[in-house]
Amino acid sequence: MTETLLELRNVTKYYDSKVGVENISFSLNSGEFLALFGPNGAGKTTTLKLIAGLIRPDSGEIIVMSRKLDGNASEAKNLIGYLPEYPSLPEYLTPEEFIEFLAALREVKSSEYAHELFKALGIDEFSNELIAKLSKGQRQLVAFTASIFHRPKILLLDEPFLGLDIFAQERISEILLEYISEGNSIIFSTHIFDFVKRFSHRVILISNGRIKDIIYDVENLNFGRLFKKFGGWAGCQQPQLSEK
Amino acid sequence: MPATTTLRKIRYMTFYKLLSHFGALRKDKKFGIAYFLLLLGGFLVISFGLSSFFTGFLTKTTRIETVELILSIFFSTQFILGMIVARKGGISIFTSEYHYVACTPITPLQYLISDTFFQFFSSNFLSMPVFLPLICMVGGYFLKLDAFEILVMICFALLYSIIEIMFSQGLGTLLSKTGSELLTNLVALSLVLITAIQYPLLLFTDLSIDKIYTPPFTAALTLSYVFGKRDLIYPPIAFTIFVIITLLIYWRASKLWFFNYIGPNYVSSVFDVTSYTTRLKHKQVLYLFEKFSKIIPIPSTRRAFFTLYHLSRMIRDGTLWVMTISIIIFFVNIIFVNPGKMLGLYKFVNLLALIAVANMSHGLLWIAHDRINMWIPLSAPNGVRKVLGGFERSLIILNLILSSPYIALNRDLLSAFFLPSVVALIIIPPKIMTLLIASLREVGKTFTTQFIVMIFLSLSLPIVLIAPMVAGSLFYPPIDLTSMINYLFGATIYLGMVYTILCLLLNKKVSEYSDD
C-alpha cells in the first residue's frame, strides 16, 4: 500500500528579498523516485535543503511521516538522508571514522550496512585512508555512503553523479533501485536528462523558485518537450540568488 | 534520551571537531613539527608583546594589583577574542558539519557543549603555555602563594576560560537570531571597546583596579578575594552575576536550532586550504571588493586593481585589524605609558618587529588563501609579477599609514633609520612569496615539506632579524646615551647587512624562477 512519506505545503523561502522557492507544494509516496528538474538557480537545492532541515522555510510546512519538520525534530531527521551538491567532507578523518561518527550521532547501532556499501562501491580498500588523500570520485562515493548508511526512508540527492565515472554511476544506480524496491523514496536533483528519464516516476519542473509543471508520463518525455515547458532559452534565465 | 547516548554524542562531536581542526597533524609528521614551530613563533610574539605592555604598568601598581592586572589581561584577551567570535555566531561550525551534522538528530545543547569543549582546547592550545607559567610565576613571586594556591589559581583561570566561551556562544547565537548585522557588531564591538579601554583608564585616571566591574577584572578580583588578599565584596558579587547571566543565555541558546542562523564560519584545520573553504572566502573578498569599488572608484589600471584586491583580502582575513589594534596599543604605550624610556630605541625595535611580523603574515595568509588559484598567475604572461606588484603596493600603503605616527612623534635620528628599515621590511615578503609561488608547481596539492619550511622561515625571519635589538632592549634601562647610540648604529648596520645579503640571495633565486 502506498504511503505518503513527505508533504510540502506552500513552502516559501527567501534569501534576503530574493526568491529561493515560493509556494511549493508536493508530496512524496513510498517507493517513489521523484526528480527535481530545472535550470541553474531554479530552487532545486533550496528545496532539498529545506527538506533536509538545513534551512527553515519562511512560511509553509514540511511534514515527514506525520511529524512536522522543524529545526530540532530528531525523529523526523533520522528518517531523512541527504547528499549535498558539493559535499564538504572532514578531510582528516578516514571514511570508516566518518561513518562511525555519523552512526553515533544518528544512534545507529550497527554499521553493517555501511560496510556492505563500502564493499559494493569499492571503498573498502581505502576506508582507512584519510579522506584528504582520496580522489574526487572516491570522496563522492564516501559522501553517498554517508547519506544512505542509516537506511533513511527518504533520500535526498543533489547531483549524486557529480564527478563519478560511468562504472561508479552504474553501481550507485543499482543501489538506488534496490533501495527503492524496499519501499523507500528518493528525491533527486540533476541536470542529466538521461537519468531523469531512466529513474523517475514523476518529474517536478522548477523554474524561478516555483513549480512550473509536474510530469507523470515520464516514459514519453523528451528533451524538446521539456525545453518548451521552460519556455525555451528565455525561460532558463537564472534568478539572482544571494547566499550568505 | 538516555544519558549515555547524550554523553556519547557529545564525546564524538568534540573529537570530530578536534580532529577536523588539528587533523593535518595526523596526515604527516612534518605537519606536527611545522605546527609546533608555528606555536613557538606565536609564543615568542605574544611574550614579546606582553613584556613591552607590562613595563608601563609595573611602576604604577602594588604587588597584589600587579597579579590582578596580569590575570585581568589574560581574562580580557579571552573576553575580546570571545566577542570577536560572537560576531560570527559564537559557535565554530566546520563546513562538513553544516552538511552532515545539521541534518542529524543531535540536539542544540549537545552540540553547544561539544563546541564549548572544542573551543576550550583549541583556543587555549597556544595561550595556556604562555599564560600559565606567567600566572605561576607572578603568584609565587609577588603573592608568595604555595603550590596548592597556585593550582587553585590555574583551575580558576581555566574555569573562567570555559565561562567566557559559553558567554561568547550564548551571546553570539542570540545576536545571530536577530538577523541584524548592525546590532551584532554594535554589541560585540562595544563590549570589546569597554574591555580594552579599561587599561588606558587605569593609567591616565585615578581609577583603581577594584573599581572596575567588567567580567575580566571582577574575575581577577574574585580570585584575590578567595585567597583572602582583598576584602572586597562587590567584585565577587558582580562576577557571580556575570556567571548567572552566562548560564541563562547559554541555556536560551541551547533551545535554538542555530544552524538556521549561523552558517559555516570558515573554521578550518591548521594548514588546511580546501577548495570549498577557499571558495567561500573568495566570495566574501569579492563582495568586500565590490563594496570598496563603489566607495573608491577604481581607475581602470591593472596596478590599482591588484592593490585594491590585496587590501580587500587583508581586511577580510582580519590581519589588517590585528595589525591596526597592535599599532594603536603600541602608540598608546609610546605616548602615555613610558614616554621617556630608551629614547625611542625600544619603541623603534617594537614597531619594526610589529611591522615585520605583520608583513610576513600578510604574505603567508595571501598564499594560504589564494594558493588554490595560483595557477592563474602562474599560467598568465607576467602573471606572478602583476599579482606580486599589487601585494607590494598594498604593503607600502599599509606600512606608511601605520608608521607615520612614529615619524611624526620622533623627529630625530631614529626616524632617519626608521624609513629605510620599513622599506626593507616591505621588500622582503614579496621576494619570499615569489619563491613560494615558484615552488608551487603542483598547485592545489597538499603542502609540501618545502612549503612548511618556508612558512616557518617566513614567520621566524623577522624575529631573527630583530633578535640582537630585542636582546639589547631587554637590558634596559641601564644603558647610557653613548652606548645606546653605538648600539643603535651597530644594530642598524647589522640589519642593513642581513637585509642586503638576503635580498641579493633572494633576487638570485627569484630570477631563476622569474616569469618575466
Give per-residue pLDDT as tens, A67-96. Answer: 887 655 677 888 899 999 888 888 888 899
B288 with B172, same domain? no
Q: Which long-range contacts (CB under 8 A, 24 or more apart) does A218-225 make?
A: A221/A196, A221/A197, A223/A193
* Mean pLDDT of the region B466-480: 49
State the span(s) of chain A assigned CATH 3.40.50.300.
1-79+152-244
B255 with B283, same domain? no
Strands A59-64 and A202-207: unpaired
User: Is residue B459 in a domain?
Assistant: yes
User: Is residue B331 in a domain?
Assistant: yes
Residues in chain A: 244
Chain A contact present for B23, CB below 8 A: yes
* Mean pLDDT of the region B5-15: 88
Strands A80-83 and A154-158: parallel
Most A-contacting residue of B5, B26, B35, B100 (CB-CB within 10 A), to test interface: B100
For A1-79+152-244, CATH number out of 3.40.630.40, 3.40.50.12780, 3.40.50.300, 3.20.20.210 equals 3.40.50.300
| pLDDT-based confidence at residue A47 (cuts at 50, 70, 90) | very high
B335 with B465, same domain? yes
Cα–Cα distance list, A108 to A79, A167, B310, B419 (Å): 12, 29, 48, 65
Contact yes or no for A59/A225 (Cβ under 8 A): no
Residue B132, domain extent: 3-25+62-260
Contact yes or no for B385/B516 (Cβ under 8 A): yes
- Tell if the CB–CB gap between A93 and B19 is shorter than 8 Å: yes
How far, in Å, CA of B27 to CA of B269, rounded?
Answer: 12
**pLDDT of B294-322, one tens digit each?**
666 655 677 777 788 788 777 766 667 76
User: Is residue B248 in a domain?
Assistant: yes
* Mean pLDDT of the region A10-18: 86
How far, in Å, CA of B418 to CA of B203, rounded?
Answer: 28
User: Is residue B47 in a domain?
Assistant: no
Chain A contact present for B42, CB below 8 A: no
B248 with B344, same domain? no
How far, in Å, CA of A3 to CA of B132, rounded?
Answer: 62
Contacts of A97 in chain B (CB under 8 A): 19
Identify the weakest region by mean pLDDT among B238-252, B328-342, B425-439. Answer: B328-342
Q: Tell me the nearest-neighbour CA distance from B261 into chain A, angstroms.
A: 9
pLDDT at B241: 95
How far, in Å, CA of A63 to CA of A220, rounded?
Answer: 31
User: Is residue B79 in a domain?
Assistant: yes
Cα–Cα distance list, B117 to A227, B16, B135, B251, B339 (Å): 53, 11, 22, 16, 43
**pLDDT of B349-406, one tens digit each?**
667 766 776 777 777 677 666 666 666 776 766 777 777 788 888 888 887 777 777 7
Chain A contact present for B20, CB below 8 A: yes
pLDDT at B386: 77
Give the three cell numbers for residue B49. 608583546
User: Is residue B313 in a domain?
Assistant: yes
B193 with B102, same domain? yes
Most B-contacting residue of A46, A101, A155 (CB-CB within 10 A), to test interface: A101
B410 with B466, same domain? yes
Chain B contact present for A182, CB below 8 A: no
B219 with B307, same domain? no
Residue B164 has pLDDT above 90, yes or no: yes
B447 with B484, same domain? yes
- Tell if the CB–CB gap between A82 and B8 is shorter than 8 Å: no
CA angle B443, B446, B452 (to 5 degrees): 100
Contacts of A104 in chain B (CB under 8 A): 8-9, 12
User: Is residue B423 in a domain?
Assistant: yes
Residue A244 has pLDDT above 50, yes or no: no
- Tell if the CB–CB gap between A132 and B27 is shorter than 8 Å: yes
Angle B147-178/B181-204 helices, nearest 10 degrees?
140
Chain A contact present for B104, CB below 8 A: yes
**pLDDT of B224-275, one tens digit each?**
888 777 788 888 999 999 999 999 999 999 988 777 777 666 555 555 555 5
Contact yes or no for B418/B403 (Cβ under 8 A): yes
pLDDT, averaged across chain B: 70
Percent of chain B clearing pLDDT 70 (strictly above): 49
Residues 249-268 on B with a CB inside 8 Å of A are 256-257, 259-260, 263-264
Chain A contact present for B111, CB below 8 A: no
Amino acid at residue number B78: Q
* Mean pLDDT of the region A30-36: 91
Most B-contacting residue of A91, A145, A240, A242 (CB-CB within 10 A), to test interface: A91
Q: Which of B27, B99, B107 sits opposite A87 (nearest CB)?
A: B99
Chain A contact present for B100, CB below 8 A: yes
Residue B477: cis peptide before it, omega within 30 degrees of 0: yes
| pLDDT-based confidence at residue B510 (cuts at 50, 70, 90) | very low
B248 with B286, same domain? no
B256 with B299, same domain? no
User: Is residue B412 in a domain?
Assistant: yes
pLDDT at B514: 40
- Burial of residue B301 (CB within 10 Å: 0-12, 13-18, 19+) is exposed
Residue A97 has pLDDT above 70, yes or no: yes
In chain B, the number of structural domains is 2
* Mean pLDDT of the region B65-86: 82
Contacts of A67 in chain B (CB under 8 A): none
Chain B contact present for A58, CB below 8 A: no
Residue B416 has pLDDT above 70, yes or no: no
B380 with B410, same domain? yes
Give the three cell numbers for residue B61. 601598581
B412 with B365, same domain? yes
Contact yes or no for B23/A93 (Cβ under 8 A): yes
DSSP line for B123-134: HHHHHHHHHHHH
pLDDT at B454: 55
**pLDDT of B437-452, one tens digit each?**
655 554 444 344 555 5
How far, in Å, CA of A118 to CA of A149, rounded?
Answer: 10
